[in-house]
Amino acid sequence: MLLKSNGRDMQLSESKNQWVWLPEVRRFTEALMSIATISPDAAGENECAALIADLLSEGNGLQPEMWLTDDGRANVACLLVGEHPQTTKQTVLVMGHYDTVGVKEFKALDPLTNGRIAFAPTQLRAVLSQKLNHSPTTDEEEVWQDLNEQVDGEWAWLFGRGSCDMKSGVAINIALMRHLWTIRQQLRGNVLFVACPDEENESIGVRAAVQRLLDARDEYALDYLGLINTDYAAPRNHTDNGRSIYVGTVGKLLPAFYILGVPTHVGEPFRGVDAGQIAAEIVRRVNLNAELCDRWVREDPEHEKEMRMETGVPPITLKVRDLKSGYNVQTAAEAFVYINWLTYTTTPAEALEVMMNEARQALKATLDHRNQQYQLFNKSGELPTQF
């Protein structure tokens, strides 16, 4: 839920003019947000791709092109070549994705259109203000404060789907390209813009873009220096109000567990093994387990003897459920869990071994608990009279 200006518009000053960032970025962000791009949605994503191309080339000589994926969606690419007399082939990429997740969370605010108010920041602000106007709960107090915060007479925050993740980031890249076009004679290198679809689903966009990036490198003899991804960054804790730039990459693994239990009737609970209980134990062991945070230790180039450690966030459960199709009086025969795990140095093979060990320990703990409870149950009362 962005944009916030921290009391001033970000500006680039030139001798003859002053180019203002925030109004441009806000305008582009709201324009991109107005188009539903819930991945996978080829029609919506392609409509947004066309708008990105239009915004890039509006009133200048930028020439964006569409790099199509196999299923007909479009990566928007635009190469800006520096025109300084001493320009080189060195090239920086700026990249983002323009698809989003769904809007189910907004349906309560907008039941008639199934939450599409998420794509209209002005309307959404009005509805949220009306809803919270009387007596916001403790959980809603921060939202209420954000709704009413102003900077220089403008609302400080922009609400809606894609405002953070990451149409504002794409808008920043568009604004940057438009500005760099005006000073291209000063650029001693190139900038390559890419905006991708389908990041939230199967990453079809960026996977298709990789080959086209290699083709562009070969065709124009580009020397890729690095890539800037303008996705949002989350605060490390409630006191973190700063802005951070992260260098490097993070791996994303999705360990999945299929649990096969032994179903039993509820009248004979100890005759079986509940798959749901095993799944719950896996979640208990792994979810938010700080000991499983991946760490990257690197030397500080300015202080050779000092080591710096970066720590990734712990694993977090994305889905846990049994696989029953409806109600019955049996315990769950099957269950399924998958977990998000961000990594720095852990390889997939190493991660698999860690998660297999967690699964083994979860199974053992579940069976041990079951057996202990069975012993207690047997001691808790008299057996039925036998005939």
Per-domain residue ranges for the chain?
Answer: 11-102+161-229, 251-378
- pLDDT (average), residues 239-265: 90
Quick: pLDDT tens for 206-236. Answer: 999 999 999 999 999 999 999 999 998 888 7
Secondary structure class of 275 (helix, strand, coil): helix
pLDDT at res. 305:
60
> In this structure, what are the phi and psi dihedrals at residue 323, rounded to the nearest 5 degrees?
-110, 25
pLDDT at res. 383:
76
Residue of 358, 334, 362, 191 whose CA lies nearest to 278 = 362
Over 80: is that where the pLDDT of 13 sits?
no
Residue of 300, 301, 311, 307 whose CA lies nearest to 346 = 311
- pLDDT (average), residues 66-75: 97
CATH class of 251-378: alpha beta
CATH class of 11-102+161-229: alpha beta
Quick: pLDDT tens for 319-377. Answer: 999 999 999 999 999 999 999 999 999 999 999 999 999 999 999 999 999 999 999 99
192 contacts 93 by C-beta, under 8 angstroms = yes
In sequence order, the β-bridge partners of residue 194 are 77, 95
Over 80: is that where the pLDDT of 2 sits?
no
11 contacts 65 by C-beta, under 8 angstroms = no
- The reported pTM is 0.83
Single-letter code of the amino acid located at 226? G
Distance CA 160, CA 158 (A): 7
Single-letter code of the amino acid located at 104? K
